[in-house]
Amino acid sequence: MARRRARLGLFEPVRGGGAAIALDEVEISILRSLLVQLLELIGPGDPPPGADDDPLAALFAEGPGKPPDDPALARLFPDAYAETEDASEFRRFTENDLRARKREDALAVIGGLDLGGPVLKLSADQARQWLGALNDLRLTLGSRLEVTDDGEGPGGGLDALPDDDERKPLMMAYLWLGGLQESLVEVLTG
């Protein structure tokens, strides 16, 4: 059973708490492309003032005080509180670290794809990074597709989109990533 699941592009458990998945070249290419786009969206972050001069200052640097204007970034970096001064303060002290973690997760997945063979075997820590990156990709695509909490985008789901709709490939990727994410969650919690 585990071999069949791996051939279908779903995660399966491995000893030691990790996960394994078999992806074909097309799936690897799509995943890599989406992750590179995610990295471009997240960006390098604003360098803290004086970071080059004082590494300690960089450690205690503050981030932005307001949410991003881009809806996808706003979804990746939501306010922790309702529109208040507390939300601004919380964002200032957490967003830089959150951006760094999201970049690290995406880069770890890209690195795993580059080093992988026919079956990618992930440690428990690597599997958690994959889960974070898959979640970030789905949040970004969901935002771009205007997917609501019930999983529906404008005009319904994938079946409701005409074949020539430019959103159809994105919706297919969104659903595929959801399957990957769900199978990984099952492995990590099972």
Q: What's the pLDDT score for residue 117? A: 76
How many angstroms separate the CA atoms of 146 and 73, rounded? Answer: 13
How many angstroms separate the CA atoms of 5 and 181, rounded? Answer: 14
Q: What's the pLDDT score for residue 111? A: 95
Chain segment 4-13, per-residue pLDDT in tens: 344 468 999 9
Q: CA-based Rg of the chain, rounded to a whole angstrom?
A: 18
Chain segment 111-153, per-residue pLDDT in tens: 999 987 788 999 999 999 999 999 999 999 999 988 876 656 6
Lowest model confidence (mean pLDDT) among 47-61, 76-90, 129-143: 47-61
User: pLDDT band for position 45 (50/70/90)?
Assistant: low
The two tokens of residue 170 are 């994105």
Helix (H, G, I), strand (E, B) or coil at 111: helix
Mean pLDDT to the nearest integer, 53-59? 58
- Which amino acid, one-letter code, is at 102? K
How many angstroms separate the CA atoms of 145 and 154, rounded? Answer: 8
Task: State the pTM of this model.
Answer: 0.81
The two tokens of residue 51 are 């970071």
The two tokens of residue 182 are 């769900």
154 pLDDT higher than 90:
no
Q: What's the pLDDT score for residue 135? A: 97
How many angstroms separate the CA atoms of 18 and 187, rounded? Answer: 8
